Structure 1
């Protein structure tokens, strides 16, 4: 049991905005609508379809596209259900987990075999078609391809594709964030277990994630930039900033928040090791801060963390200072300078699903009013999402 006394910032209601996601959503909507029209005109007998999670360019779940495969499949499914004119009956993904998704992990070719299609058709009565897809990443773009495969003869009926643009904000800290794959029974792995399906995600305002981490300066999100192939959030020496956490889900979530590897609540080095522990290549969950001090976010809420917590009423502003004056260096801890890390722990029982050349780090700024309250929160022992953001001075 992981029951802890944690801090809760005074939250504010979350107002949903589609500005960042509009291009992505519009492109997927067009793809779904065109696919629905193609299906109806090519084979009007097809009425019941299933949409498994899309693969990446290497035929894998997750990988370099993170949760984009699941996100795209969900959107295509949504548009088929709500297609104008003929609306399709869509099998919910839970019914596909055992008969389809395990086979799906063998690659797209396995789903195109007649024997596999017969097996799927037998497992899901009345199924007429399977929409298989791929999401391939090309630097700042995603190529999405969706193909309808008829059941049970495995014949491709029609196919559509779309090119989606990504920006520097979406790809900040590429490769440093992970979403932990749950098991077929919705269980999380235990600490130290092998995580075969660990996925790389892309913060900050990522349309594929249930949570978000943003850097604010003067209450405005600071856009990421790319320098020498590395995406980071630029901050000038002496500049103060805040960290905004967002919970898009319907469940409470606990967030262990770290700057330069130090917990912002107690400035403790409770986050052991380096972020390499969370890279998909490592394939292990270790050094997890499950007993750290945490912030608790209510369902569909945001909280702006303004600095290092000093007591129950005040915080010291996050301020970029010379490396030697930073809080982490004063503790002789330099492994994670230039990194902001948010580790998200779902509520217990929830159904949810430094780089070279750094010269500056974060120190203590002025004391500001920041009232918090202590609450009890029982969370899962292993996080579901870990987000990281690199920061540095503009000159890198």
Structure 2
């Protein structure tokens, strides 16, 4: 079968990529990337180590393989373009720099190579922070791109690679900066994934910060103040009772609303609390808008302002703020990007990739929301993410590189 838009047929592309994409090269790249720390810190996307990772470990490799059109947006996200851009077709590969902090993991940046059999993974594995999420996917993308460019097969479309300073923040700011700030668009996009499976959907999420304000006094005279803790308790009760949670999805499950943090002030003994802050995690199903979900929470929380402190008879104040959010995502097997991934995996790996629905949200929700057909696929290992056994399979990293490379040659050449 002839590859779409290419003068080469499937068998010719497969033979070329099988010869040039190797586990040894995938391993070398993965080890090298793991050895460069790029942790999440309190500075989030402004952490200097993230930009240092991109400028020292990613950009030089892109220039070596042949990218000349490389730029940065104001956030520090790298955007690289390759190809003639004459066919009207475009494909975007999206990597991420930020990974979990080292925490308690021994040798988090050593890039130790271990036998994957002990961990239920095929072949050799590379251990290190970020291996199971960001860095195996980056290694596969880099190996795929260097292989395609070195083949000297003309790329008539536009290949876009971006490495974002995000990866663990739970918000779309970085990819939004690339798309809306820098004006980057593509027909379809692929984000890193896990276990060589294609993610078809996930719930979205909004974080909501609620502050209930009272008035402090000595707790021996509670009638002199307004107890913010009592007001917060009322707010939580109202929210859990009144926020509509009546929708379900056959694969993604239910909407949810969870109080996941609460704290009161001042932090002193025998004091009626002046302020109580709590955080809500509201999970969204496809079709729900983050702003609408926030508006419902804000309206219900504000009802506490009409309730009086049961001891003093005085009223509360309530502030509600929308925090980071991520759109829900849902694509089908008829989506252009899913069809391309299924086709590439069937040709290169001998069978179409499995599909699944993810419990967590990432940037695919935003990209699909703005009309860029997006799915996740890659060699990550979600079961080892955020653990002391953060690792990825070399074999799966090489296999992912083959799938990415086939997509480039199949769609863009």
**Which bracket does the TM-score occupy, shorter chain normalised?**
under 0.3
Instruction: Name the TM-score, length of structure 1 as normaliser.
Output: 0.23
Higher RCO (Cα < 8 Å, 6 or more apart): 2
Whichever structure has more helix as a proportion of its residues is 2
Computing the radius of gyration from Cα coordinates, the structure with the larger value is: 2
Whichever structure has more strand as a proportion of its residues is 1
Instruction: Name the TM-score, length of structure 2 as normaliser.
Output: 0.23
